[in-house]
């Protein structure tokens, strides 16, 4: 573990935030704490707790139109530019709030270990150091707009085949020095962010139900915010909450936890309290309580954001071999053949979390 990371994380939350969180918790019943964990925000309006509104946001806002489509994260990583990543984070955070969201599901900082990984375009590449530094820049940029980032996926998520039940066998050293390393840097920079737990089993136990992983992310890495499962992840949501899961999501088969599932001794009262506290810390620290999201706007893309996407696309272009000094193109060039899907076509991301449809396109 990087020396000083845990100390930095513990010292990073404003005592004023903690005082406000504890004041709200003092008014909450166990049933209300459970409602917060289950995302039953309608039962909490009298406490001033806002509903979480989530959207995938690795390269822009998935499922929306009239938004900016940024280059996929793998292309962002190819820029090696932390300031550019921070500005992209600010832009996505700005558009997310304008569309009525207060929780961005991104950035994705899974370490790409094989080209067979179906979500590699959503990751920040194969280098844990690079993924951590760019992930930190994206996260702090997003959260500067009074919005929560959810960094994903913790941890050792490296394949899509059988992702819901595969068992990833990994040594402690590789787990901590490779797969968790990007999260260490992000959490050091933004301890009150949130972290999404991965789909697979890790050494025999689902990541969502793995006490050792929760100990790593909260105690070794210093996360003060909440953990949340990937959608439909794991096998037992009560076991997940007992192990350290803070925010309940859609369980196996899309089933939500029923009211009362986490009370009456199902999980220790201290665990219930800790989960609710972490959710509230993340909300207060990132301004969700003091800055409610506006009514969704129809068009949130701007010329500045489109220019930023263009800048990132240029910066991400990598020349592997400059055969026969083909570049730069000669000044007197009259014609140029563009071969492949690069003329009137536009590809933004792949199916899934990185796909963004802005509605209108500027093609190569």
Q: Which of the residues 56, 81, 230, 357 is marked catalytic?
A: 230
Return all residues near 354 (Cβ < 8 A) that are at least 6 apart: 56, 58, 59, 62, 72, 73, 119, 121, 122, 348
Specify the DSSP class assigned to residue 174. H
Report the C-alpha gap between 60 and 75 in whole angstroms.
13
Residue 110 appears among annotated catalytic residues? no
Q: Listing from the earlier edge strand, what are the strands of the sheet with 194-197?
A: 54-56, 103-105, 148-154, 194-197, 227-229
Please state at what angle helix 128-143 crosses helix 181-189, rounded to 10 degrees.
30
Q: How far is CA 149 from CA 76, 138, 143, 171, in A?
A: 17, 9, 6, 29
105 vs 329: CA distance, rounded Å:
40
CA distance 92 to 107: 11
Terminal CA-CA length for the chain: 44
**Biggest alpha carbon–alpha carbon distance for the chain:** 79
Bridge partners, residue 103, by sequence: 54, 148
What count of residues does the chain have? 364
Show which residues are catalytic.
230
């Amino acid at each position: 573990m990087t020396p000083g990371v845990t100390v930095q994380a513990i010292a990073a939350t404003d005592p004023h935030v903690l005082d406000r969180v504890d004041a709200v918790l003092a008014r909450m019943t166990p049933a209300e704490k459970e409602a917060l964990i289950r995302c039953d925000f309608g039962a909490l309006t009298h406490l001033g707790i806002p509903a979480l509104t989530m959207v995938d946001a690795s390269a822009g806002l998935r499922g929306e139109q009239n938004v900016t489509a940024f280059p996929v994260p793998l292309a962002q990583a190819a820029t090696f530019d932390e300031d550019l990543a921070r500005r992209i984070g600010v832009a996505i955070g700005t558009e997310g709030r304008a569309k009525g969201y207060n929780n961005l599901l991104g950035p994705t900082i899974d370490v790409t270990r094989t080209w067979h990984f179906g979500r590699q375009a959503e990751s920040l590449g194969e280098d844990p150091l690079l993924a951590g530094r760019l992930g930190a820049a994206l996260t702090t940029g997003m959260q500067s707009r009074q919005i929560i980032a959810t960094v994903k996926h913790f941890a050792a998520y490296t394949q899509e085949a059988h992702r819901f039940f595969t068992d990833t066998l990994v040594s402690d050293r590789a787990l901590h020095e490779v797969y968790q390393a990007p999260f260490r840097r992000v959490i050091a920079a933004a301890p009150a962010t949130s972290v999404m737990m991965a789909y697979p089993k890790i050494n025999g136990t689902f990541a969502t139900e793995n006490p050792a992983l929760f100990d790593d992310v909260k105690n070794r890495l210093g996360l003060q915010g909440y953990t949340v499962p990937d959608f439909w992840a794991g096998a037992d949501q009560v076991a997940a909450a007992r192990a350290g899961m803070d925010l309940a999501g859609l369980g196996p088969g899309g089933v939500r936890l029923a009211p009362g599932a986490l009370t009456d001794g199902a999980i220790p009262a201290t665990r219930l309290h800790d989960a609710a506290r972490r959710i509230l810390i993340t909300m207060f620290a990132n301004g969700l309580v003091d800055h409610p999201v506006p009514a969704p706007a129809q068009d949130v893309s701007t010329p500045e954001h489109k220019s930023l996407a263009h800048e990132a696309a240029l910066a991400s272009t990598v020349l592997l071999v400059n055969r026969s000094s083909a570049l730069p193109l000669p000044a007197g060039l009259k014609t140029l053949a563009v071969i492949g899907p690069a003329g009137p076509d536009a590809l933004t991301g792949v199916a899934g979390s990185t796909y963004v449809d802005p509605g209108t396109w500027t093609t190569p």
